Amino acid sequence: MALLIGLLSTVTVMPLVAQPTYAPNSTAMLYVSCVGWPGGNPVYPCFLIITSGSYAVTSNGHTRSGSYHPTPIPSSAFRPSSNGTQVHSYGFILDAPQTYIWLKAGERADVPPNAPTDIRRMIGHDEYLSACAQICSSYSYRVGWTDIYWVEEKPEWIHVGQTPQHQNSNSYNHWMTSQAAYGIWYTAKAFLLRFPSQGKIAVNDMALPYGGLFDIAGQWEPSHWNHYRGKAVDVAVGSGAYGIPDSNANTFVDTCVLTGGAMYGQVETTPLHIHCEWY
Ligand SMILES: [Zn+2]
């Protein structure tokens, strides 16, 4: 017996669809069948165990396997019926050609012991549902926002801020919404026109791919919290490469708001840097 699990709406091409991205807190209705092999026709009754999981490896720059930074992210919950209890594993006898489950993307509320209900932890990871009869099949998806894009280096800035928590690469910490990305770009252009000797600025953390908790302490605890939605950027101040002089930091903040259209900006300490954030 083989087994299928897939999107109800794409049932005929289901095994071939690319991994979808589900927005946090959205619900996806999926179907599950036991099918005979060869032939692919539904076979029932069959005993099924459905389990949700998340990959214990790095995905989308968010996690890292191994003892240094293990993946503490449990899986999304699902309901075996439209109004049933949320579970992470469910075994039952399927006595019909197919059944449906309701996946709540990013819902981890009932997972002990960490119960990381903070929504910022729920975003950005690749996860899966596996369904096992005599053999198992799985369905991969990702929880995240699809309006967060890679922001490349430009003549106006260099990338800084790579950390071991996020693969020692500046490829993972420079993602933003288009509105925020254009905001910091207009800000940088205006600021460099006024202070041409600055040359460039150094842009530090924005957001991770698909958003979500940005781990800066290696503990996967909420911090750096306002970088979870792709609407904020940190800019270097001080003596590092292309750091903005202390004396000009407040002017940069003003430029973020007045020229870049930011919701607010401020000079933050420990470490000293500028934070600008958009709506
Ligand atoms: Zn910040």
Are the beta carbons of 110 and 33 closer than 8 angstroms?
no
Residue 267 CA to ligand 1 center (angstroms) comes to 9
What predicted TM-score, i.e. pTM, was given to this entire model?
0.84
Residue 183 CA to ligand 1 center (angstroms) comes to 15
Residue 67 CA to ligand 1 center (angstroms) comes to 27
Question: Residue 84's pLDDT is what?
Answer: 84
Residue 26 CA to ligand 1 center (angstroms) comes to 27
Same fold, 2-143 and 149-277: no
Low-confidence ranges of the chain (pLDDT < 50): 1-2, 7-16, 66-68, 112-116
Q: Tens of pLDDT along 142-169?
A: 999 999 999 999 999 999 998 877 778 8
Q: Could you give the CA distance from residue 262 to residue 259 in angstroms, rounded to a whole number?
A: 8
The ranges assigned to domains in the chain are: 2-143, 149-277
Q: 192 — phi, psi (to 5°)?
A: -75, -25
Are the beta carbons of 261 and 185 closer than 8 angstroms?
no
Q: Tens of pLDDT along 204-224?
A: 999 999 998 887 776 666 678
Q: Regarding beta strands 149-150 and 175-176, do their DSSP bridges make them parallel or antiparallel, or are they unpaired?
A: antiparallel
Q: Could you give the CA distance from residue 71 to residue 64 in angstroms, rounded to a whole number?
A: 6
Residue 174 CA to ligand 1 center (angstroms) comes to 12
Residue 187 CA to ligand 1 center (angstroms) comes to 16
Question: Residue 42's pLDDT is what?
Answer: 82
Q: Could you give the CA distance from residue 106 to residue 111 in angstroms, rounded to a whole number?
A: 12
Radius of gyration of the chain (CA): 23
Tokens of 140: 């991969």
Residue 65 CA to ligand 1 center (angstroms) comes to 26
Q: Could you give the CA distance from residue 138 to residue 51 in angstroms, rounded to a whole number?
A: 9
CATH: 3.40.50.2000, 1.10.3720.10, 2.40.110.10, 3.30.1380.10. Which one for 149-277? Answer: 3.30.1380.10
Q: Could you give the CA distance from residue 262 to residue 233 in angstroms, rounded to a whole number?
A: 10
- Assigned CATH class of 2-143: mainly beta
